[in-house]
Amino acid sequence: MHNETLRPETTPNGLSSFSPLIDSAKLAHPPGTLVDRYGRRITYVRLSITDRCDFRCTYCMAEEMTFLPRHEVMSLEECLQVATVFVSLGVNKLRITGGEPLVRKNAMWLIERLGALPGLDNLVMTSNGSQLDRFAPALKAAGVRRLNISLDTLNADRFKAITRIGDLGKVFNGIAAAQAAGFRRTKLNAVMMRGINDNEFGDLVQFALDNELDLSFIEEMPLGEIHGRQNTYISSEEAREHLARRFELIPSTESSGGPARYWRIPGTETRIGFISPHSHNFCDTCNRVRITAKGELYPCLGQNDALHLLPVLRDHPGQDAPLREAIIASMGIKPFGHDFTQQMEAPQVVRFMSMTGG
């Protein structure tokens, strides 16, 4: 790891960039790629194309949400330009997120073009599954390689309570449609909530095994002003201890390019992952940034610092150079890490998960 001192410089568009005071060749990263001030190369971008969703999950949104007006949301063309510039800077994995990305009108127009970008090796999507019955074949044809589907419970009444308005049957149909379209290694994401779904962890694993799916359990994150979260938090270690009573879990060194740490169940192809932003901070290997639907570039999910790309896009329409400079400048505000544990009762990050795209 490199702890070089950075020197701020002013770019033509007035943004601050950061130049390392050491020879860039010593970073051992290809020239022209994104490297932050701690020597971490950025290869993974999570791009939110909408803040809207057809669910209202309790850990993700307020019950009464105020969504962005259309003029404050990046157009699909602007989303494509942002993604194209990131790929030109060495990003090879792009995750499409929301809200629910498939409720965005004409989302397939964008996804088809992203799938054709030279140098983008891994186009993936996170979805709640509700629209996959309609879109799974088109997503596969467009070049989406893998899907993540949020599923916190197998109980229809509990699902309705967690999502407020969701229909579990639509999600099951979406999973089946993804499999029929040829998607493999589809991953379920389950947010762990004490007193809500903690008695289903074993059943969720069994569902994944029965349907040849992967599954990641996620520690609840303190994003947005959602009260009572400190009472529902469960650590990954506690969840693994619970699962070990029913399944043999073997640690694995596999990686999907994200923050999950995986375990295997002997005799199966299923991977069980744990994403642990509280108990097992993974910041030292962070390789990702997030772009919100309104063009905010967040170098860290657990911090409020952001660079606003929308003004750059609209002040210089169709021009990649100013956008490229702004993205490179954002590496200077990427922190070494976050501390969610200190934020459980009074979150410092007041935006909701749906606004950041997960």
DSSP-assigned letters across all residues of 241-258: HHHTTTS--EE-----SS
At residue 334, the pLDDT reads: 84
d(CA 202, CA 13): 53
Q: Is 262 annotated as a binding residue?
A: no
Q: Is 60 annotated as a binding residue?
A: yes
Q: Which residues are CB-neighbours of 200 under 8 A, at least 6 positions away?
A: 153, 154, 155, 158
At residue 91, the pLDDT reads: 97
CA 305-193-338 angle, to 5 degrees, is: 25
Given a contact cutoff of 8 angstroms between Cβ atoms, the answer to whether 229 and 352 are in contact is no
Q: Is 126 annotated as a binding residue?
A: yes
Given a contact cutoff of 8 angstroms between Cβ atoms, the answer to whether 152 and 239 are in contact is no
Strands in 82-213 per DSSP E: 93-97, 122-127, 146-150, 187-192
Choose among 208, 226, 224: nearest CA to 216: 208
pLDDT tens for the chain, 358 residues: list them: 333 333 334 343 334 333 333 344 435 778 889 999 889 999 999 999 999 998 988 888 777 778 899 999 999 999 999 999 999 999 999 999 999 999 999 999 999 999 999 999 999 999 999 999 999 999 999 999 999 999 999 999 999 999 999 999 999 999 999 999 999 999 999 999 999 999 999 999 999 999 999 999 999 876 545 445 568 899 999 999 999 999 999 999 988 767 789 999 999 999 999 998 755 555 777 889 999 999 999 998 767 889 999 999 999 999 999 999 999 999 988 877 655 455 444 445 554 554 555 5
Q: Is 104 annotated as a binding residue?
A: no
DSSP-assigned letters across all residues of 262-289: EEE-TTS--EEEEE-TTTT--GGG--EE
Q: Is 186 annotated as a binding residue?
A: no
At residue 104, the pLDDT reads: 97
**Residues 292-329: b if buried by 16+ CB within 10 A, e if exposed:** bbbbbbbbbbbbeebbebbebbeeeeeeeebbebbbbb
Look at the pTM and tell me if it is higher than 0.75: yes
Q: What are phi and psi of 253, to 5 degrees?
A: -95, 5
Q: Is 113 annotated as a binding residue?
A: no
Q: Is 79 annotated as a binding residue?
A: no
Six token digits for residue 81: 């330009």
At residue 332, the pLDDT reads: 87
* Cis, bond preceding 99 (omega within 30 deg of 0): yes
Q: Is 289 annotated as a binding residue?
A: yes
**Residues 36-56: b if buried by 16+ CB within 10 A, e if exposed:** bbbbbbbbbbbbbbbbbbbbb
Given a contact cutoff of 8 angstroms between Cβ atoms, the answer to whether 48 and 357 are in contact is yes
Q: Is 283 annotated as a binding residue?
A: yes
- What are the structural domains of the chain? 6-356 (3.20.20.70)
